[in-house]
């Protein structure tokens, strides 16, 4: 459904595009003057929309009322709210907080006009870019030789790139490992955090890691399209890091022997910027 400045669904007003309550987390010790700031946690975003349904006849008006109610049906669960204005496109997941209200009275209801009120609740308060930003890293090459290993040569290939988080807050990433690789690790050098896979990946392996809060996952995508949960592959010291606002120096390292073609391995990091308002 599209709400705009023309019939049949005319957007008259929308509230909640920016204002979100914050929970200030404080800690207080015995005999301490004041408190110590810990963190700020944003609450859910509430959005209220006022719509005018305008049609050519009463029969069509009733049909459009029913259609509006069917779209904003709380039983359907989360949906996507898309905001467009002057070339800016943002999206947010939203759930109808109630069945749309159709107020009565001459100022709200006429034979060809019906006003409606829609209330939405957004579990995540952040507006997102329309599309994910995906970055493939370039590489540098360096190696070390260990003569005590009977002439075996080991090397380490590194991929470095600066990723820009243009949003207002930290944002999770999806990391795609493409083999072959041994013990691959991806660092966020800006935060000093890393995620490491303590395992060798074959040339056909694709390992996908999501660092999103509440949706953390580590899976192998198989050639037939199925996925296998391999959360236990992650090194215990790993952190499901996020990109902080601004520049983030990301580095990808793998180990390989002299008989490995490490040039085939690569990493793609994808993310969506998060904004506090539109």
Domain with CATH 2.40.30.200 in the chain: 9-125
pLDDT at position 221, please?
86
Domain with CATH 2.60.120 in the chain: 133-275
Query: Token pair for residue 238?
Result: 């790993």
Query: What is the per-residue pLDDT across 39-93, written as a single tens digit (0 to 9) for each?
Result: 999 999 999 999 999 999 999 999 999 999 999 999 999 999 999 999 999 999 9
pLDDT at position 35, please?
97
Measured distance CA(15)–CA(50) in Å, rounded: 9
CATH among 3.30.450, 1.10.10, 3.30.70, 2.60.120 for 133-275: 2.60.120
This prediction has a pTM of 0.86
Query: Token pair for residue 95?
Result: 């759930």
Percent of the chain at pLDDT exceeding 70: 90
* Domain 9-125 bears CATH identifier 2.40.40.20: no
Query: What is the per-residue pLDDT across 231-252, written as a single tens digit (0 to 9) for each?
Result: 999 999 999 999 999 999 999 8
Contacts of 85 (CB under 8 A, 6+ apart): 278
């Amino acid at each position: 459904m599209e709400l705009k400045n023309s019939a049949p669904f005319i957007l008259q007003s929308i509230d909640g595009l920016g204002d979100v309550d914050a929970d200030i987390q404080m800690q207080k010790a015995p005999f301490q003057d004041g408190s110590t700031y810990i963190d700020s946690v944003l609450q859910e975003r509430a959005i209220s929309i006022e719509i005018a349904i305008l049609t050519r006849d009463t029969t069509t008006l009733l049909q459009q009322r029913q259609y509006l109610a069917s779209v904003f049906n709380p039983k359907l669960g989360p949906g996507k709210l898309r905001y467009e204005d002057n070339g800016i496109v943002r999206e947010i997941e939203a759930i109808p907080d109630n069945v749309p209200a159709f107020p009565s009275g001459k100022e709200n209801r006429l034979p060809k006009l019906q006003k409606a009120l829609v209330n939405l609740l957004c579990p995540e308060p952040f507006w997102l870019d329309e599309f994910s930003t995906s970055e493939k890293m370039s590489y540098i090459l360096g190696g070390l030789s260990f003569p005590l290993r009977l002439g075996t040569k080991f090397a380490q290939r590194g991929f470095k790139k600066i990723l820009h988080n243009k949003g207002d807050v930290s944002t999770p990433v999806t990391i795609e490992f493409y083999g072959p690789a041994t013990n691959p690790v991806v660092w966020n050098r800006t935060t000093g955090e890393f995620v490491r896979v303590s395992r060798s990946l074959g040339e056909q392996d694709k390992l996908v890691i999501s660092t999103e809060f509440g949706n953390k996952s580590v899976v192998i995508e198989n050639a037939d399209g199925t996925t296998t949960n391999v959360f236990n592959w992650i090194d215990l010291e790993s952190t499901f890091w996020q990109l902080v606002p601004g520049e983030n120096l990301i580095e990808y390292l793998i180990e390989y022997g002299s008989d490995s073609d490490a040039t085939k391995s690569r990493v793609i990091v994808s993310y969506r910027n998060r904004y506090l308002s539109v």
